[in-house]
Amino acid sequence: MQQPGNKLSEAERAHILHVANSEAYGHLPPSQIVPRLADNGQYIASEATFYRVLKAAGQLWHRSASRPARNHHKPRALAATAPNQVYSWDITYLPTTVKGSYFYLYLFMDIFSRKIVGWQVYAEESSALAGDIMQDICARECIAPAQVVLHSDNGSPMKGATMLATLQALGVSPSFSRPAVSNDNPYSESLFRTMKYRPVYPRSPFATLLTARLWVATFVQWYNHEHRHSAIRFVTPAQRHAGLDTALLQNRAAVYEAAKQNHPERWSGAARNWQPVTVVHLNPDHQKDDDEKLKIAA
């Protein structure tokens, strides 16, 4: 069979590989090599030929100085069936009276009960400060090693060496969202939205760190102990965290059933569902129909 007239000789292939692996061009892809050669008055082969020769030689790796593109896989699915199994945390900005300056609210919540289990307002973002809060939470909640998974986004305080070392010492397993995917951390996002859309959220910036802390303390008290959360059958996060929701919901079911027995003509179907929510999912692979009806939003 006659060979194509434009087929490269072995010497030409070797020369292309030599140039592509040289000190000057070894870190560059063909798309960068060919123009540089032309600037020096040289034409060895086309960009496509460089790629083809490198591929045939098994050398078509990521050659540029930038980091290779990475596929960010969806975080592993987590499910909580009781308090103190899966926590979610994040940091949000609180405006100050100094333009461009912020306080930082660190907020940790239990996704099963929706209770805020730890928080603090600081003047900076810090992995060490986040670690201090987590140590305090584990002490107050009597967390045993390997009991809790802590989910967060990919911010530097979340993935900082001090925070990760603290989690390792506490026996807490970290879990992270994909970069720039807020849906991977929906519970914290929803909690911040609830906080900032409250009618009593200050319209003016916080003047001092103390005023910010006092306001957040008031919000946490309301959220944990007064707010009936829609996703957990309208009990408070504190009630669910303490295991009181089962009795409360049983009592509600009895009240509704009695009302239905007294006036059956007023009921066209079953009484309202007051069964406790038994499992809460974070980033599930396949969301069940019943779970889809439960609102993550507070």
Q: Is the domain of 28 the same as that of 122?
A: no
Residue 122 forms beta bridges with which residues?
104
Q: Residues 187, 141: one domain?
A: yes
Domain count for the chain = 2
Residues 43 and 110 in one domain: no
- For residues 95 and 204, state if they share a domain: yes
Mark whether 124 and 219 lie in a shared domain.
Answer: yes
Q: Which amino acid is at 56?
A: A
Backbone φ/ψ region at 291: left (φ over 0), alpha (ψ -120 to 50), beta: alpha
Residue 183 inside a domain? The answer is yes
Q: How far apart are CA 132 and CA 83, in angstroms?
A: 21
CATH number assigned to the domain comprising residue 137: 3.30.420.10
- 178 within domain boundaries: yes
Whether residue 49 is found in the same domain as residue 135: no
Domain with 47, as residue range(s), is: 10-56
Contacts of 210 (CB under 8 A, 6+ apart): none
Query: Is residue 101 located within the same domain as residue 186?
Result: yes
| Tens place of pLDDT per residue across the chain (298 aa) | 555 556 888 888 899 988 888 888 887 888 888 878 888 888 888 888 988 998 888 887 656 554 554 554 555 789 999 999 999 999 999 999 999 999 999 999 999 999 999 999 999 999 999 999 999 999 999 999 999 999 998 889 999 999 999 999 999 999 998 655 556 689 999 999 999 999 999 999 999 999 999 999 999 999 999 999 999 999 999 999 999 999 999 999 999 899 989 988 888 888 889 999 999 999 887 544 444 444 454 5
* One domain, residues 188 and 223: yes
